[in-house]
Amino acid sequence: MAKRFKAAVIGGSGYGGAELIRRLLLHPDVELVRVASVDYIGEPIENAHPHLEGRTDLKFEGLSPAEAAAGMDVVLLGLPHKVSAQKVPEIIATGARIVDLSGDFRLRDPAVYKRYYGAEHPAQNLLDGTFVYGLPELHRAQIQQAKYVASPGCFATTIELGLLPLARAGLLSGMVETVGITGSSGAGVVPTATTHHPVRASNLRTYKPLDHQHIPEITQTLLSAGAKDLQLSFVPVSAPLPRGIFATSFVHVDEKVSVDEIKRLFVEYYQKEPFVRVPHKRLPEVAAVSGSNFVEVACQPGAVENGRRVVACFSALDNLIKGGAGQGIQSMNLMLGLDERLTLEDPGSWP
């Protein structure tokens, strides 16, 4: 039986592309028709992604964006930052829906984009809200109506979901300090001097401290959700694990807000969310969500000083799935009027 929708992946040879392909091959309603790439052209999918051996007859194709998008209901982009923005106008002209996993359409201010991505944005006319920010836990209704979605970054998703209940309640303001620890797959397929396994396997190191490109994305999102006068100091840390992000954010709330009220905010905000868990008898951990589209969040209210209570907010997810391709598939499902959980409910493995 023919499936209802047709999809293409552009930029399918990387880790994010592998997750997009895997989920689409499992999808009951969306047929993966084409996979475009500048690498492995003419070669079968399993040459780049061995775990997909025997699952598809598709091959990587060297197609223009318009050729890849022709006749498609949706195109999912696994392209690098600054490349995606150059291809999107051509895809828009085909009439296809778009889910973009890059950072090119997350920010609204082209000056901020230039500051953090190091280049002028090539399609500034599309930064006017043409793309909906694809965080279902905040923008589900907008995503359902959207034709173009900018899927959030991995660190951004982790940190935003760890702080969103406080922002929505109007309790998030002032300075927030965050440390985020990430796995090596977030650095992409091609090894570099700092991501190569012999260096990374037994090492912890920071990079882009207080200057990571997800900082303005996180601030923009949380301010739109109800935070006030927000300033984010963020230090990312690379860790010797392939998958996963663990973020710890320290915020300060008015001492009049009780410990029970703070904890209840998290439980109530996420109680109907299909992919966010608030553990009852433990704190979030990477191994509990690795390989899945699930997120774990929790908070730990602490001491009061000068009328403000410190709250430690914890969040953990798989950077390639809920922090990347899985969240893109979740948005695609919503855009197509499908159950957002399709192909995403597997719980991963333990440990």
Judge if the upstream peptide bond of residue 279 is cis by omega within 30 degrees of 0: no
d(C-alpha 343, C-alpha 105), whole Å: 26
Number of H helices, E strands in the chain: 10, 14
Burial of 202 per CB tally in 10 Å (0-12, 13-18, 19+): exposed
Distance CA 157, CA 327 (A): 9
Query: What are the start-end ranges of the H helices in the chain?
Result: 15-26, 65-69, 84-92, 110-117, 136-145, 154-168, 197-200, 214-224, 259-270, 326-335
Separation of alpha carbons 174 and 242, rounded Å: 34
DSSP, residue by residue, 50-111: GGGTTT---BEE---HHHHHTT-SEEEE-PPTTTHHHHHHHHHTTT-EEEE-SSTTT-S-HH
- Catalytic residue, chosen from 154, 156, 239, 342, is 154
Q: Residue 248: what residue type?
A: T
Question: Cα dist. 119→106, 201, 218 in Å?
Answer: 15, 32, 20
CA nearest to 135, candidates 320, 273, 314, 233: 273
In Å, what is the CA distance from 225 to each residue of 137, 165, 173, 291? 11, 9, 12, 28
What would you measure as the largest C-alpha separation in the chain, in angstroms? 66
Question: In whole angstroms, what is the distance from residue 176 CA to residue 71 CA?
Answer: 46
Q: What are phi and psi of 43, to 5 degrees?
A: -95, 155
154 is catalytic: yes
List, by residue number, the catalytic residues: 154
